[in-house]
């Protein structure tokens, strides 16, 4: 089973700042890595798939990069509505599909 680790666990930044979230896989997942955003009381929302492709209607301030075992989600200029938990998910070596534990982004 591929284990995903995310860092940092919590990120506290001000509006307009740049957020960099990391996801590391225990073995290569090629580019089969997605990012989800989840706000309290809501289901997850797909942001990025195949490591760097933005899903429909996702703002351009969200971008993904990486391949193999190291991936990054960047939010170029934080907005107040970006306060959420962000999960990475791999689907290369499956089943099972696995998720990272999440990074909580707090907007000051």
Positions in the binding site for another protein (CB under 8 A): 32, 34, 36, 38, 43-46, 49-50, 55-56, 87, 89, 91, 94-102
CB nearer to another protein: pick between 9 and 80: 9
Least Å distance, CB 105 to another protein, is 15
CB nearer to another protein: pick between 44 and 68: 44
Q: 26-52 in b/e burial notation, b at 16+ Cβ within 10 A? A: eeebebbbbbbbeeeeeebeebbbebb
CA-angle at 81, arms to 76 and 86, nearest 5°: 70
CB nearer to another protein: pick between 14 and 42: 42
């Amino acid at each position: 089973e591929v284990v995903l680790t995310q860092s940092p666990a919590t990120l506290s930044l001000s509006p307009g700042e740049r957020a960099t979230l990391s996801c590391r896989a225990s073995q290569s997942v090629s580019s089969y890595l997605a990012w989800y955003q989840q706000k309290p009381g809501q289901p997850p929302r797909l942001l990025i798939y195949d490591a760097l492709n933005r899903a429909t209607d996702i703002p351009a301030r969200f971008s993904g990069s990486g391949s193999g075992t190291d991936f990054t989600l960047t939010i170029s200029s934080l907005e107040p509505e970006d306060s959420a938990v962000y999960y990475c998910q791999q689907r290369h070596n499956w089943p099972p599909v696995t998720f990272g534990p999440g990074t909580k982004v707090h907007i000051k």
